[in-house]
Structure 1
């Protein structure tokens, strides 16, 4: 999450500043966002550091580990009887949010699949949080969160109002909000703008804008209300412009501007990649991903021969693959730019 930006009911506000030494036997396993539990190799590396690790986070009362299971396992491996903790005062749902945030921003990062599953759980307990808030917590894109919300059955993640980073509540459907204001004004024609804003949960400027739109020269209140709703829909469309065709996106043009066949050929000759298993695996992945795109008309031939009834599934798979590669690129850049590794919170 961007530094300095808070999301609604930030769990870190309930994180105690004081640290304590507590017996390891008093602690309980966490409800971890990791699918496969702790990473044994990461535990071994932490155990071999020989330096004191940062405090783990523990939910006060339940003594359940919120963040720091790898550090706890490392302490146990080293024969420690006590460990340094920082207590967290919050419920189970808030503890999970804090665990996800910690494991996205520091330490051994969550996989993309784990982040998506975490987003589903956070949406289930906080459906009124905006897509961008949940995206920043889980370390995925707001578009991915919106897709998860949209695919949910029965509208379980739907909410009329969404809460943003600033804590302000905004309508998920701007047109619905405008209609609500119009109805309130029809029932309370002499209400002040501040009264309208307070009753409908909007700003005074929004209340004034709707009231002005309701002023119909012919005195037709119904026509004014309809126009108000129509303009609300127009605002939504303006806020969400039509997607630019892929061929016109600058992002798509930039990679193709490089001589990727030559780049891939040079990567394949690099001994540091060629003679390591991970390097060869990466080169194979790059060759596979670029093979269809680099051939003349590659995308066109692929699309022309795909069955129509599988388009939605294939499109979703392509989007998830793109998200995974973006995550890989982000992690690679962060790892390259990082200062010499030091133990950090967020090892789950």
Structure 2
């Protein structure tokens, strides 16, 4: 029997839309295991045999896999496919995705990062995925790719810098809000600066429109003009050979260096994904881990409301305790990452 006779029309989906993470709730079809292709996954280390055996032994119905209709490539669910083979099954339930290969990869990264049905992507996996996204979507901003991979914007910037020779420079990038912005805003800031010098009474919106910058940028340029500072912050200036001329009276302020931080994860989503993992939900240690992590999540969520209620004479001691706990969590994370490296 022809495979095409068993497949309904594939579902289109915006891989960046919030509901894309619930894609596996769409209509399913039974697909022969032998027709599926594995590989080209964000998971560079291949399948985890222990996890596959655990899924096969669980004996419960697993969520459908996500399959790219054009290539029959498994987008999400390779471990489930392997588990089905170990169970002796000839078919698996699948939801078909209709899109390009690049869109399929973006969806795979999103589904496997936090909302996967088992093993989360390692940092190494996410870094490799980021490199591929920088190459396939050079017009996406660092923060955009960071939000998809769970890495920091600074890390994406370094990955992009290493690949610039291959991808070539782009003039604008699309941010998380869907808006296009110039990679180098120096020329727009200088234009706004010149317009403000010529007409100091002009409105911010008028200056922004004429200079081709955002109102917030125009407002920042006006503040810098009033303070006698350069219109272009030092950390955004282009190399000296291309640097626009700045007014003589301007005084550059040293750029503030902010500590790099991983793009914030979604604790609730991560815990929800862990809760669905049979290797965790079916043993006492796993259930204890879930209760422990969820308790910490709830405690962190209450932090903003507690800060102002800590008595003044206890601030130093509570802050010291918080830092000690943060250090312990850092050690815990480092131990997990070291264990992951040893397993690779």
Distance 1:146 1:18, change over 3 A: same
Distance 1:89 1:101 in 2: 16
The alignment status of 1:35 with 2:59, answered yes or no, reads no
Alignment-derived partner of residue 178 in structure 1: 189
The alignment status of 1:150 with 2:161, answered yes or no, reads yes
The alignment status of 1:96 with 2:105, answered yes or no, reads yes
Which residue, out of 60, 64, 68, partners 2:69? Answer: 60
Which deviates more, 192-201 or 141-150? 192-201
**Deviation by residue 1:240-271 (Cα, 9 ceiling, x = unmatched):** 61358xxxxxxxxxxxxxxxxxxxxxxxxxxx
Alignment-derived partner of residue 126 in structure 2: 115
Which residue, out of 132, 139, 146, partners 2:143? Answer: 132
Report deviation, 1:119: 0.8
SS in 2 for 1:51: coil
Distance 1:113 1:125 in 2: 19
Report deviation, 1:195: 7.8
Distance 1:183 1:211 in 2: 11
Alignment-derived partner of residue 338 in structure 1: none
Between the two structures, name the one with larger relative contact order (CA 8 Å, sep ≥ 6): 1
**Deviation by residue 1:91-119 (Cα, 9 ceiling, x = unmatched):** 11111112122222132122322221111
**Deviation by residue 1:288-321 (Cα, 9 ceiling, x = unmatched):** xxxxxxxxxxxxxxxxxxxxxxxxxxxxxxxxxx
Alignment-derived partner of residue 232 in structure 1: 232
Distance 1:176 1:194 in 2: 18
Distance 1:164 1:327 in 2: 30
Give unpaired runs (5+ residues) of structure 1: 1-7, 216-226, 245-323, 333-348
Note if contact 1:159-1:172 (Cα within 8 Å) is conserved in structure 2: yes
RMSD: 4.1
The alignment status of 1:23 with 2:31, answered yes or no, reads yes
Alignment-derived partner of residue 268 in structure 2: none
The alignment status of 1:47 with 2:45, answered yes or no, reads no
Give unpaired runs (5+ residues) of structure 2: 1-13, 237-251, 260-329, 339-344
Task: Map 1:186-201; keep pairs closer than 5 Å.
Answer: none
Report deviation, 1:52: 0.4
Alignment-derived partner of residue 82 in structure 1: 91
The alignment status of 1:242 with 2:248, answered yes or no, reads no
Which residue, out of 10, 31, 37, partners 2:16? Answer: 10
Distance 1:133 1:39, change over 3 A: same
Distance 1:135 1:239 in 2: 26
